[in-house]
Structures are given as structure tokens and as C-alpha cells.
Amino acid sequence: MSNVITKDILLQTLKGFQINGDVTYCEPYGFGHINSTQLVVDQSGKRYIFQKISERAFKDVPALMENIDLVTSFLREKSADPRTVLTLVYALDGSSYVKNEYGYWRVYDFVEDTICLQSAETDMDFYESAIAFGRFQQNLNDFPVEKLHETIPNFHNTPDRFRIFREVLAKDPLNRAKDVQAEIDFIFSQEEAVSTAQRMLERGELPARVTHNDTKLNNVLLDAATRKALCVIDLDTVMPGLSIFDFGDSIRFGAATAAEDEKDLSKVTMSLDRFRVYTRGFVQACPGLTDNEISMLPMGARTMTLECGMRFLTDYIDGDHYFAVHREGHNLDRCRTQLKLVRDMESKWGEMHKIIAEEKA
């Protein structure tokens, strides 16, 4: 399979989808780390999102697409407004994807008149993203979970992420580990604490729910006119999971005061104000969280942040195969912001719990 995807290949692949007329525009789009995303426009001016699905991340793409087809159809029944749910554009043969010699491809309608933020501009934007993800989980409450495939097994099984980290450290293929010993030591110092949620899940103390599992701010679209929560996107990782991890991954990304790859760590903190507004929106949109879930929300944030930092470092040591990188040391820079955030959360631990107590519905 070739790695070089030319414009001709893109245009040829697009011919396999139910798009009206010729494509007049096709250019890279967005800031995702996993799939390759293109914005496409057809002759009539209608816009689409066209993606090559990462087979490095997703080992069974047909199963993943079946999940997305099921989940979007289910959610569509619950909403009168088509812009609130992703709409797949099917292939000419009626399939939800096209497979060719270059890989797996899919197309969605572009959700028009929306805002996709890389960082929260205002507290209200972040609050609305909490409403979007909380509502998403709430709406999937009665989804027949046995129909969902696990698209990345053990995706947020933190102890298993430690196992993989140890494996890569033992191999250390590029001899990079010696220069990042401080980061490695810090990650191991957190192991016991951040394994708590997985243990609670295994003991039945936290319920498995249908969750999104990748609740970055740039995986939600706000309505451009009202700036209200509109549509949750990037559904590749919708599977059974923990509500506190959906909450936590949003805090990790959206309550950070700097970008995920900021090099100046003095700029990187977790905003307690943002933590408060997200908590407010999430518990409001997602009533029915158990007492254990509520009290573990701060640990959800700390766990997702540490786990993500460890995943970036694993990929750095392994030679940068998983996350798309755009500069030397990119994954290491990303790892360092996450570890800085974990330290900051630890220093704010009491206040985070106080906020949870004040904001719980």
C-alpha cells in the first residue's frame, strides 16, 4: 500500500461516493491527529468532509463504520434538526465507506454555519461543549450497547496503557528514553492513582456507559449564529466507556490555558473557572450520574491527562507512528504539556473537589 496520496487518487476515490456532479475543490482541512481530512466542494457548491481513516489507529474499519452508521441513525431519530447529527454520504454501492488499494475512505456532509474551536474563546463556548458531550451521552443512554464494536480495544484502560508504555520503553528503538527520564519517572509516580477508575469499573463501582471517548473541544461543532452546542463529531471511538473519562478528556484539552503542543510550559495551567463551567454544563446535560461518578470527576480529568501524556511519550519513544507530527519532538512537547497539567491539577485538587460539590445538580 502506497503512502503517497496524490490529488488524482483523492479525486478518483471520491468518484466512488454519491456526490452530485464533479468535485471542484479538495484540500486538507482541520487539525485532527488521526485521520487525514479533506474539505470537498462539488459543482453545486455543496461541501463535504472526506476522510482517509487511520488503519494504524483502527484495525477493523468496517466494524468502526458500522458503529458510526448505527449511532448516527439512532441519534437522528432523537432530533428534528439534521445539523445536530453527522450525516454519512454513502458509496455508490450503498456502503458507508470505500475501500481501495490506498485504504479506507468515508464522506460526511459538511455541517454548515458552525464553529470548531481549537481552544475555548469564552467560558460560554466551553460550557456549550459540555452541553454537547453531556447530551450526546444522555441521548445514547438507551442505545443497544451490545451492537457496538470496540474500535480500539482497551482504548482508555489506563493500566493497559502502562503495559504498552513499559513494552516500548524496553525496546526503545531510537534510544530516546535516556533523554526523557524525568518524564518517565513522573508518569510512573502517578500509576497507582490513575489506575483507580479502571479498578472501580472492574469492581462495578463505576458503570460502563456508551461514551464518545475523544471529547476534545475540536470534536464538537457550535452553531455559528447562536454559539450554542450543535453537533458532536469524530465518532470513531464511540464505545462502552466511563462517563468520567468523557468529562476528563474535555478538561484536559479545553480547560488548559495553552495549546496541547505549547513549548513554554509556564503558560500551561488548568483553569479552575473553565473546570467549573464545564462541570456545570456536563452535570446539567447528563443527569443520572451516580454519586461515585460525580465524586470521581476530578480523577477522570487527572487520569485522561496523564494517560494522554503517556501516550504521546510512548509514541515519541516508539518513533512517532501514531499521532500526526508536524515538527521534531512534537510528541514530546505534547507530552510535557500534559504532565504539567497533571501537576497543576494536583496542586488544585481540593478546589476541584469543592467545585464539584458546589456544581452538582
Residues 193 and 302: beta-carbon distance below 8 Å: yes
Centre a 10 Å sphere on the Cβ of residue 39 and count the other Cβ atoms it contains.
15
Residue placing its CB nearer to Mg ion in the complex, 219 or 314: 219
**Of the candidate residues 234, 246, 260, 344, the single one contacting ligand ADP (CB under 6 A):** 234
| Contact flag: residue 219 with ligand ADP (CB under 6 A) | yes
In eight-state DSSP terms, residue 89 is E
By CB under 6 A, tell whether 125 contacts ligand GN1: no
Does 90 help bind ligand ADP (rule: CB under 6 A)? no
What's at 24, amino acid-wise?
Answer: T
DSSP alpha helix (H) spans, the chain? 7-14, 61-76, 123-139, 158-171, 181-189, 191-194, 196-202, 243-254, 272-285, 291-295, 297-318, 330-347, 349-359
Cβ contacts of 188 within 8 Å, gap of 6 or more: none
Q: Least distance in Å: CB of 288 to ligand ADP?
A: 27
Angle of the 330-347 helix axis to the 181-189 helix axis, nearest 10: 40
Please say which residue, 220 or 283, places its beta carbon nearer to Mg ion: 220
Binders in 31-90 for ligand GN1, by CB under 6 A: 32-34, 57
- Report residue 341 CA to chain centroid gap: 18
**What is the Cα 57 distance to its own chain's centre?**
12
Q: Which does 241 bind (CB under 5 to 8 A by kind): ligand GN1, ligand ADP, Mg ion, none?
A: none
Q: Residue 30: which of ligand GN1, Mg ion, ligand ADP, none does it interact with, CB under 5 to 8 A by kind?
A: ligand ADP
* Contact residue for ligand GN1 among 125, 183, 223, 260 (CB under 6 A): 260
Number of residues that bind Mg ion (CB under 5 A): 3
Burial of 94 (0-12, 13-18, 19+ CB in 10 A): exposed
Among 125, 183, 214, 293, binds ligand GN1 (CB under 6 A): 214
Q: Is 85 in the site for ligand ADP (CB under 6 A)?
A: no
Min CB(148)–Mg ion separation in Å: 19
User: From residue 287 to residue 326, what is the string marking binding to ligand ADP with x (rule CB under 6 A)?
Assistant: ----------------------------------------
Q: Report the distance separating Cα 47 and Cα 169, nearest Å.
A: 44
How far is the CA of 74 from the CAs of 68, 69, 173, 269, in angstroms? 10, 9, 45, 38
Stretch that binds ligand GN1, among 26-34, 179-187, 196-204, 281-289 (CB under 6 A): 26-34
Minimal distance in Å, beta carbon 308 to ligand ADP?
14
Q: Binding segment for ligand GN1 among 8-16, 29-37, 83-91, 99-107 (CB under 6 A)? A: 29-37
How far is 123 from 121, CA to CA, in rounded Å? 7
Strand partners, 52: 36, 105
Which cell is 179 given?
Answer: 533523554
Q: Which is nearer to ligand ADP, 96 or 190 (CB)?
A: 96
217 sits near ligand ADP (criterion: CB under 6 A): no
Find where cell 507530552 sits.
335
The identity of residue 86, as a single letter, is: L
CA atoms within 13 A on the CB side of 244: 26
Coil/strand/helix, residue 135: helix
Considering the rule CB under 5 A, would residue 234 count as an interface residue with Mg ion? yes
Select the residue interacting with ligand ADP from 61, 233, 285, 339 (CB under 6 A).
Answer: 233
Residues that bind ligand GN1 (CB under 6 A): 32-34, 57, 214, 216, 219, 234, 236-237, 260, 308
Residues that bind Mg ion (CB under 5 A): 32, 219, 234
